[in-house]
């Protein structure tokens, strides 16, 4: 079981308990917050590896192609 499965199960249980007992909603919220933090940290460290450098540059090139075309076609 990876961390996503584990946290997914924890969230399911916490949500079920929260429905029965409102105070447990705080715990569910904390679990959800922890999940988001782990997800963000994993994305951050994956990003630091440089594995998406080429994709990032390709995205920049595509977006700026569109922006140049937007100025070309504009008349104010």
Which positions lie near other proteins, rule CB under 8 A? Answer: 48, 50, 53-54, 56-58, 60-61, 63-65, 67-68, 70-72, 74-76
Question: Is 37 or 68 the residue whose CB approaches other proteins more closely?
Answer: 68
Question: Is 33 or 47 the residue whose CB approaches other proteins more closely?
Answer: 47
- Minimum gap (Å) between residue 39 Cβ and other proteins: 20
- Minimum gap (Å) between residue 42 Cβ and other proteins: 17
- What would the DSSP string read from start to end of the chain? --HHHHHHHHHHHHHHHHHH-TTHHHHHHHHHHHHHHHHHHHHHHHHHTTTTHHHHHHHHHHHHHHHHHHHHH---
Question: Is 20 or 70 the residue whose CB approaches other proteins more closely?
Answer: 70
For tokens 């988001």, the residue is 36
For tokens 């104010």, the residue is 76
């Amino acid at each position: 079981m990876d961390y996503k499965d584990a946290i997914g199960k924890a969230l399911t249980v916490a949500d079920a308990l929260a429905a029965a007992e409102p105070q447990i909603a705080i715990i569910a919220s904390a679990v959800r917050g922890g999940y988001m933090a782990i997800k963000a940290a994993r994305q951050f460290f994956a990003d630091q590896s440089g594995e998406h450098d080429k994709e990032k540059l390709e995205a920049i090139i595509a977006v700026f192609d569109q922006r140049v075309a937007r100025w070309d076609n504009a008349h104010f």
